[in-house]
Amino acid sequence: MILQTTLSLAAAAAIMNIWLAFRAGKLRYNAKILHGDGGNPLLMQRMRAQANFVENTPFVLILIAVIEMTGKGGTWLAIVGSVYMLARISHAFGMDNAESNPLRAVGFLVTALTLLGLSVIAVLIALARF
């Protein structure tokens, strides 16, 4: 069984993680900071944006893979995964701003709703009610 949605989203996630690392790395290089954030607020924010991505994305990918393996996936699952990835881009750009902003808020909200929604679907499938 080929999990096309999961494979596509995992590839997108890997590329996005590289992009997030590059953003922090470029800032680190320009500021000549070898370890930690060196007291640079923007570097700390970018490091947290990448860490937050790494903290949430594995759960999303696991849920998508398992749902897809049950045969209950389809176009809706690919759309949910794509919206999640776009929200993570929004969150990353929002993290560049030290104050509350819509980009970060949307990124967080979509991430939370995606995790919650996929979790509910997974439980319903497990209970054979979906």
* Domain boundary assignment for the chain: 4-126
| Other C-beta atoms lying within 10 Å of the C-beta of residue 73 | 21
pLDDT along the chain (130 residues), means of 10: 95 98 96 92 96 98 97 96 98 94 96 98 88
| CATH architecture of the domain with range 4-126 | Up-down Bundle (1.20)
Structure tokens given for 87:
């929200």
d(CA 57, CA 127) in angstroms, rounded, equals 25
For residue 63, the one-letter residue type is L
Rounded to whole angstroms, the maximal C-alpha distance in the chain is 56
pTM assigned to the model: 0.93
- What is the reported pLDDT for 96? 95
